């Protein structure tokens, strides 16, 4: 173990821009670095409390914003790697560190002398002549303390801190269980007859997976690039069912069981909310979002469900009828739907993943996304092979404006591995901040699970993965284009039901022929993506839109059901979810199988009582993209207006005000239903 003086996590980085020294960090550095950083942060807090001067915005609020910078930097590295490049040792460290961080956080939030200084500044806010950003920082600081128990009676603060610590450990364990359960299952096939229906790219990926594991034949996993295509294409219904059941029963029973953890997490959240005077956790969480109240969210979900559910049932009936035309007489089960809907889509639109993937070589898509950012925002991307990364798959780019101004470092981590959780996400190793006139630009990371290149072909994306990259890059732009002084108010630090607007907005370009025509070429022949294929992509955009909408709404409904009650429900987890979703079910519910035990977003991530925000943001983005269409989808002036009024401003202004600044009015919900063909 290095001593503190030489610990790379505690020293200023000598690299350009202060980039993380990933090549020097060892696992044994983390715990002592956290311990020292917590000590330094406590010294920062003590200096604020012991300041003999009267409390002011500068010596209390601003000083608190900048306190613990070492701890923020170390956390930004460590916890991102526990998602993208973890192992048993990293998980063990996380379990040891998380309680320390929670204790430290609660010791600050429940510190009465510190809160007294904050309260003194808050009470004189009308006389401080603060600018908009500073006033927002004061407001958010006050609310953060009040919402974390600072106003509780002294006898209740200990219990509140205990609840917070237990909750941090429970949510951490939930995510670890999901990753472990995902990695625990493989479908190992050695008979080529079992590959019936699988296209070449799926077979090659499975063969590559087997080879990497030192096995013969083909190995399929529960990672999306393997699982999704298997369900779509496999002609073996029995194997589709096996894969579906494995994927959808993750963490229900067994050594990675999450059902008890769900009940614990819900109970802990409810008790914390009740202590603060809220009737439910949902009411507590939503106070800080655009929706404000659970009733607003429930009415919003219901308003979308009303036209969507009949459309979804028509979608399922249509797929069922199509399957019967092919001699499939059984009732359509969940493991059948992807298979038959893919066949119907291919027949109706003459379009499928195998047809399109050769035109979406990952490197070409990446270059096109970079070019789009250049056309809209004047950004330029230069790969920096001299900067270290945390895994050989990762690439890092220096992002600048046309003027040469450095904007960000962008880390791209595309391919699945056992050490990475499933899905796709954007995060930051460092967020924008400015102290004493010195600006530190962000380090943004985009993590996905795209198909790895093989010896036979490069990484080729499905069209869905193209939209995924655009989505996460939209989050990335939110970070890279951030402006402001205070990191807690910059970039993606906005209310949860607003944060998906920039990401979902970017997905629209995937359906624009003028963008697709700039890059989509066959990786072998160089042939441009035929106009007929582009027409089919646009025509197929709303294929099964009702079904897809109901599926997303169900996630939001389940989330709200877990977080609007009096705590953990009387029923077990499976029964509770199935009963909650029975009225909106469009495929048969399978006994014993539900998605909540692997629902990372709400039980391990930051979307508790907030999953509805994907649909909420879809309403915003559908309305917002109309502005780009009105002004030109490559319009630099339209993009500049979006950047100036909304994208660069983070959480420095209330989200509804930002949207009105951009659009000149409130969003029009009808735009989403029209976009999906459900109006």
Over 567-624, what HEC string results?
Answer: CCCCCCHHHHHHHHHHHHCCCCCCCCCCCHHHCHHHHCCCCCCCCCHHHHHHHHHHHH
- Tens digit of pLDDT for each residue in 129-138? 999 999 999 9
Distance separating alpha carbons of residues 604 and 254, to the nearest angstrom: 19
CB 549 within 8 A of CB 304: yes
Q: Which of 136, 129, 7 has its CA nearest to residue 77?
A: 7
Sign of torsion, CA 374 379 385 388? Answer: negative
Please state the rounded mean pLDDT for residues 267-284. 97
- Tens digit of pLDDT for each residue in 510-519? 999 999 999 9
Based on the fold, state whether residues 394 and 457 are members of the same structural domain: yes
**Looking at residue 668, what is its pLDDT?**
82
pLDDT at residue 354 greater than cutoff 90:
no
Based on the fold, state whether residues 520 and 641 are members of the same structural domain: yes
Based on the fold, state whether residues 87 and 33 are members of the same structural domain: yes
Which of 217, 248, 279 is at the close of a domain? Answer: 248
Least confident range of 406-410, 449-453, 593-597: 449-453
Is 81 inside a domain boundary? yes
Is 583 inside a domain boundary? no
pLDDT at residue 4 greater than cutoff 90:
no
Distance separating alpha carbons of residues 220 and 52, to the nearest angstrom: 64
Strand partners, 381: 399
- Tens digit of pLDDT for each residue in 379-406? 999 999 999 999 999 999 999 999 999 9
Based on the fold, state whether residues 539 and 426 are members of the same structural domain: yes
Alpha helices in 350-482 (DSSP H): 353-356, 362-377, 463-480
Sign of torsion, CA 567 570 573 579? Answer: negative
Is 658 inside a domain boundary? yes
Report the CATH number that the domain containing residue 84 is assigned in CATH.
1.20.1050.40
Is 594 inside a domain boundary? no
Using CA atoms, how far residue 572 sits from 259, 261, 266, 602, 644, in Å, is: 8, 12, 13, 18, 49
Which of 199, 221, 248 is at the close of a domain? Answer: 248
pLDDT at residue 1 greater than cutoff 70:
no
pLDDT at residue 3 greater than cutoff 80:
no
Based on the fold, state whether residues 126 and 208 are members of the same structural domain: no
Based on the fold, state whether residues 451 and 516 are members of the same structural domain: yes
Based on the fold, state whether residues 216 and 123 are members of the same structural domain: no
In 388-516, beta strands by DSSP E: 395-401, 406-413, 425-430, 433-435, 438-440, 443-447
pLDDT at residue 228 greater than cutoff 70:
yes
Instruction: Write out the two tokens for 92.
Output: 């063990």
**Looking at residue 139, what is its pLDDT?**
97
Based on the fold, state whether residues 224 and 143 are members of the same structural domain: no
Is 177 inside a domain boundary? no
pTM, entire model: 0.86
118: helix, strand or coil: helix
Is 238 inside a domain boundary? yes
**Looking at residue 203, what is its pLDDT?**
95
- Tens digit of pLDDT for each residue in 615-671? 999 999 999 999 999 999 999 999 999 999 999 999 999 999 999 999 999 888 788
**Looking at residue 672, what is its pLDDT?**
85
- Tens digit of pLDDT for each residue in 419-474? 998 899 999 999 999 988 899 999 999 999 998 998 889 999 999 999 999 999 99
Based on the fold, state whether residues 364 and 427 are members of the same structural domain: yes
Beta strands 443-447; 406-413: pairing state: parallel
Distance separating alpha carbons of residues 473 and 373, to the nearest angstrom: 9
Is 201 inside a domain boundary? yes
Q: Which of 572, 581, 531, 526 has its CA nearest to residue 553?
A: 581
- The mean predicted confidence, pLDDT, of the chain is 95
Domain tally, the chain: 3
Of residues 351 and 265, which shows the higher confidence score?
Answer: 265
Residues belonging to the active site = 472
| Predicted confidence band of residue 34 (pLDDT cuts 50, 70, 90) | very high
Is 291 inside a domain boundary? no
**Looking at residue 208, what is its pLDDT?**
93
Based on the fold, state whether residues 499 and 436 are members of the same structural domain: yes
**Looking at residue 2, what is its pLDDT?**
53
Based on the fold, state whether residues 205 and 93 are members of the same structural domain: no
Based on the fold, state whether residues 127 and 30 are members of the same structural domain: yes
| Predicted confidence band of residue 17 (pLDDT cuts 50, 70, 90) | very high
Strand partners, 435: 438
Distance separating alpha carbons of residues 658 and 495, to the nearest angstrom: 12
Long-range contacts of 201-204 (CB under 8 A, 24+ apart): 201/229, 201/353, 201/354, 201/357, 201/451, 201/457, 201/460, 202/229, 202/230, 202/233, 204/454, 204/456, 204/457
Which of 228, 248, 268 is at the close of a domain? Answer: 248
Report the CATH number that the domain containing residue 479 is assigned in CATH.
1.10.1370.40
CB 528 within 8 A of CB 368: no
Residues spanned by the domain of 99? 4-109+111-147
pLDDT at residue 299 greater than cutoff 70:
yes
| Predicted confidence band of residue 569 (pLDDT cuts 50, 70, 90) | very high
């Amino acid at each position: 173990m290095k001593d503190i003086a030489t610990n790379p996590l505690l020293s200023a980085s000598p690299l350009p821009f202060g980039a993380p020294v990933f090549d020097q960090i060892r696992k044994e550095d983390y715990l002592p670095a956290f311990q020292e950083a917590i000590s330094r942060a406590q010294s920062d807090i003590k200096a604020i409390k012991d300041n003999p001067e009267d409390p002011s915005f500068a010596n209390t609020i601003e000083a608190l914003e900048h306190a613990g910078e070492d701890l923020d930097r170390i956390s930004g590295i460590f916890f991102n790697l526990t998602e993208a490049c973890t192992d048993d040792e990293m998980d063990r460290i996380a379990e040891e560190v998380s309680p320390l961080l929670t204790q430290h956080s609660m010791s600050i939030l429940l510190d009465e002398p510190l809160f007294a200084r904050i309260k003194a500044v808050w009470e004189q806010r009308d006389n401080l002549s603060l600018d908009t950003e500073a006033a927002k920082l004061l407001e958010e600081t006050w609310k953060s303390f009040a919402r974390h128990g600072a106003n509780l009676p002294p006898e209740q603060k200990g219990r509140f801190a205990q609840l917070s610590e237990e909750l941090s450990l429970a949510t951490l364990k939930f995510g670890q269980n999901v990753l472990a359960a995902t990695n625990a299952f493989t479908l190992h096939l050695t008979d080529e007859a079992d590959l019936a229906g699988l296209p070449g790219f799926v077979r090659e990926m499975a063969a590559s997976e087997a080879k990497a594991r030192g096995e013969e034949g083909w190995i399929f996993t529960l990672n999306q690039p393997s699982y999704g295509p298997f369900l779509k294409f496999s002609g073996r219904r029995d194997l589709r069912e096996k894969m579906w059941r494995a994927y959808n029963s993750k963490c229900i029973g067994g050594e990675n069981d999450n059902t008890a953890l769900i009940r614990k997490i819900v109970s802990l959240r409810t008790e914390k909310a009740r202590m603060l005077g809220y009737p439910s956790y949902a009411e507590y969480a939503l106070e800080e979002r655009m929706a404000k109240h659970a009733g607003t969210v429930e009415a919003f979900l219901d308003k979308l469900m009303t036209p969507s559910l009949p459309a979804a049932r028509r979608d399922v009936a249509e797929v069922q009828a199509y399957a019967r035309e092919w001699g499939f007489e059984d009732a359509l089960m969940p493991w059948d739907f992807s298979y038959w809907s893919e066949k119907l889509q291919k027949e109706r639109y003459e379009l499928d993943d195998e047809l399109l993937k050769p035109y979406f070589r990952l490197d070409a898509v990446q270059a096109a996304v970079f070019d789009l950012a250049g056309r809209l925002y004047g950004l330029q991307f230069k790969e920096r092979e001299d900067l270290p990364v945390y895994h050989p798959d990762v690439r890092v780019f220096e992002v600048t404006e046309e003027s040469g101004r450095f904007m960000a470092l962008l880390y791209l981590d595309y391919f699945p591995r056992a050490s990475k959780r499933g899905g796709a996400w954007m995060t930051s190793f460092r967020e924008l901040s400015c102290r004493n006139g010195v600006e530190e630009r962000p380090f943004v990371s985009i993590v996905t699970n795209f198909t790895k290149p093989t010896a036979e072909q490069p990484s080729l994306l499905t069209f869905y993965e193209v939209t995924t990259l655009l989505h996460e890059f939209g989050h990335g732009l939110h970070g890279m284009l951030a402006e402001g002084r205070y990191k807690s108010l910059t970039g993606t630090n906005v209310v949860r039901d607003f944060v998906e607007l920039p990401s979902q907005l970017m997905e629209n370009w995937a359906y624009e022929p003028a963008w697709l025509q700039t890059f989509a070429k066959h990786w072998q022949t160089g042939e441009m993506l035929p106009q007929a294929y582009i027409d089919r992509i646009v025509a197929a955009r709303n294929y099964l839109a009702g079904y897809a909408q109901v599926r997303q709404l169900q996630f939001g409904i389940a989330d709200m059901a877990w977080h609007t009650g009096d705590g953990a429900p009387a029923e077990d987890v499976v029964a509770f979810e199935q009963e909650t979703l029975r009225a909106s079910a469009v495929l048969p519910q399978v006994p014993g199988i539900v998605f909540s035990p692997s629902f990372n977003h709400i039980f391990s991530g930051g979307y508790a009582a907030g999953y509805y925000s994907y649909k909420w943001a879809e309403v915003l983005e559908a309305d917002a993209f109309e502005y780009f269409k009105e002004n030109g989808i490559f319009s630099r002036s339209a993009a500049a207006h979006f950047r100036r009024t909304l994208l660069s401003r983070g959480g420095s202004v209330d989200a509804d005000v930002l949207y009105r600044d951009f659009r000149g009015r409130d969003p029009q919900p009808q735009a989403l239903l029209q976009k999906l063909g459900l109006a």
